[in-house]
Amino acid sequence: MPQVHRMFFHYSEFPLSMRTLFTGTLLVLGLAYLFAMVHLYNSHSGRDGSPGMSVDDIAIAYSGSDDATKLEAALLGPMSGMLPTDERGDIVGWVRRGLDEKEYDNRIKPIFDKRCLSCHDGSNPHIPNVDGYEEVAKLAEVDTGMDVFTLIRVSHIHLFGITFIFFIMGLIFSHAFVRPVWFKSLVVALPFLAIIIDVLSWYVTKVFPPFAYAVILGGGLMGLSFAFQWVVSMYQIWFSKYSVEKPVGEATTV
């Protein structure tokens, strides 16, 4: 029987009530993790135009997309026959200059009224409404990705929240018997390192999209550590009969 640190207690030494508490916590945390994954998928997949989740989706979420706006795409594509070239140029130029409202009233609105409203006056719910500045502006928004204030808000929520989750998780896991000790400590440390990588790389991805790989790496490491701690803890709480021999007196260095 190997000797272990005198502060170490294996699950099997704990009363049933405590093992129940650990189990309940793990179950709900596991469920929460699944929902987090579904949410991640829903909010990011398909941004690059193809279904499913990819590195591009992550990059676009943070840095935005250089693609033309929906309005420009329509004017250059399917709607190109609806107006003469010079008027199309007027609209595209106005979009590029930043959707000035005065210019809209003076020069742009009449074009929409004349060329588009016969179909796009809002009466057909299947095609976009272009009647009025607000409606047109919605179609002409450039996707600049997540703005910095949103990132800051999400960062502080994640840093606080994830620390709680992995503190609780790590505390439960610390009662598992896992060797070598350096490996066990690494598993405990990993999610904290990962959340720092993850959050910091959001900001880098915003200005340098290829960094989306680091966002995925951070998230992946976190998930790996979570899964390992969850499975090992749950298994040892209920199925491991490991009984440990504690040293009397001085703690051994394990």
Which residues sit at the interface with ligand HEC, rule CB under 6 A?
70-71, 74-75, 78-79, 82-83, 115-116, 118-120, 127-128, 130, 139
Q: Which amino acid is at 107?
A: R
Q: Which amino acid is at 41?
A: Y
**The two three-digit tokens of residue 4, written as one number:** 């272990």
* Closer by beta carbon to ligand HEC, 87 or else 198: 87
Single out the residue of 185, 213, 208 nearest to residue 198, CA to CA. 213
Q: Which amino acid is at 156?
A: H
Among 113, 233, 119, 101, smallest CA distance to 178 is for 233
Smallest gap from Cβ 90 to ligand HEC, in A, equals 11
**Residues across the chain:** 254
Task: Supply the minimum distance, in Å, between the C-beta of residue 61 and ligand HEC.
Answer: 21
Between 139 and 176, name the residue whose CB sits nearer to ligand HEC: 139
Q: How far apart are CA 205 and CA 215, in angstroms?
A: 8
Look at the alpha carbons of 150, 201, 47, 40 in this order and tell me if their dihedral is positive or negative.
negative
Q: Shortest distance, CB of residue 195 to ligand HEC, whole angstroms?
A: 38
Is residue 186 within 8 A of residue 229, CB to CB? The reply is: no
The distance of closest approach from Cβ of residue 74 to ligand HEC in the complex, given in angstroms and rounded to an integer, is 3
Residue 143 to residues 1, 43, 60, 72, 77: CA-CA distances in angstroms?
A: 62, 15, 9, 13, 19
Give whichever of 74 and 222 is closer to ligand HEC, judged by the CB atom: 74
User: C-beta of 65: minimal distance to ligand HEC in Å?
Assistant: 14
What is the rounded CA–CA span in Å between residue 222 and residue 219?
Answer: 5
Q: How far is the CB of 54 from ligand HEC (least distance, A)?
A: 21
Measure Cα distances from 162 to 154, 159, 209 in Å.
Answer: 12, 6, 24
Tell me whether residue 91 or residue 199 sits nearer to ligand HEC (CB atom). Answer: 91
**Token digits for 160?**
């606080």
Residue corresponding to tokens 């929902």: 35
Please report how close the Cβ of residue 68 comes to ligand HEC at its closest, in angstroms.
11
Cα 217 from Cα 197, distance rounded (Å): 8
Nearer to ligand HEC, 127 or 152 (CB): 127
Pick between residue 58 and residue 74 the one whose CB is nearest to ligand HEC. Answer: 74
- Which C-beta is closer to ligand HEC: that of 49 or that of 220? 49
